[in-house]
Structure 1
């Protein structure tokens, strides 16, 4: 049987399509490849975008901003000493982009104008820190990325 150009092209095209379809089915069916959205209820989250931008601007306008630092035994969030630590309320979300099962929230409870998150809650790698807090009726939002070694 002799194969001409047309038959060869059809065979090559069929093999290529099979190759692509194999990888599509592999990614969709294998739990190793997580296809979840970054944020649960994405569209609901998007409707509050302007409010979120106002809180980010409030945090940006502060003369002294809270700082997030990785130290040897954990993560330390230090608020400026001018803030009354009993009046600062809110929470800190530590978000792991590579695996959502490591994400966790921590309520802000300051001691000596700082909040400490121990290393035993953290694994090595990238963490997105989203800090939402309120002080004297004004809402603030800070987002930072830290790397744990």
Structure 2
């Protein structure tokens, strides 16, 4: 079967249009949500965040975020040098925004706050601790794997 130039052009444009329609359909199936809904306000608060990081680095003993054994509680050890701590712990799951949660900073008498991991989604989590002690603000972020 011999195809003339008119038929070839029609086949080419038909395939081209069908591939564009397919790409438009696929792009509507993709989740375009942002990591943070308030990205502009977050950007304006960057200097405060930088100061908190500098304060945290100036501590003799840094805040420790550890998980002694897989499947057990996560321990957040606040340095005794800073004094009584208050603030917020944010558990951020990059894979699922609906799994994120926040906890208030409430260390026990030994300066360690324990967070149970039962019911948490397995995978990568970012633990973000934004806390105040002794009149200064501090920030520490660490990745953990459950």
Q: TM-score, normalised by structure 2?
A: 0.84
Query: 3-state SS of the aligned residue for 1:71?
Result: coil
Q: Which residue of 1 aligns with 2:128?
A: 130
Query: Which runs of 4 or more aligned residues in structure 1 lie more than 6 Å from their structure 2 counterparts after TM superposition?
Result: none
* Structure 2 Cα separation of the partners of residues 7 and 47 of structure 1: 59
1:50 deviates by 1.3
1:3 aligns with 2:10: no
Question: Are the aligned partners of 2:105 and 2:113 in contact in 1 as well (CA < 8 Å)?
Answer: yes
Q: Is the 8 A contact 2:128 2:141 kept in 1?
A: yes
Q: What corresponds to 1:15 in structure 2? A: 15
Distance 1:71 1:24 in 2: 48
- Alpha-carbon offset, residue 10 of structure 1: 6.2
The residue number in structure 1 matching 2:67 is 70
Mean Cα displacement is larger for which, 87-96 or 120-129? 120-129
When the two chains are superposed, the root-mean-square deviation of aligned CA atoms in Å is 2.2
After superposition, give the CA deviation of every residue in 1:29-70 in whole Å (9 maximum; x if it has no partner). x4xx43210011111111111111111111122111011112
Q: CA deviation at 1:17?
A: 4.7
Structure 1, 42-51 or 98-107: larger mean CA deviation = 42-51
2-structure distance, mates of 1:21, 1:70: 49
Q: Report the CA distance shift for 1:20/1:93 in structure 2 as closer, same or farther (over 3 A).
A: farther
User: In structure 1, how many angstroms separate the alpha carbons of the residues matched to 2:142 and 2:10?
Assistant: 52
Segments of 5+ residues of structure 1 without an aligned counterpart are none
Alignment coverage as a number of residue pairs:
142
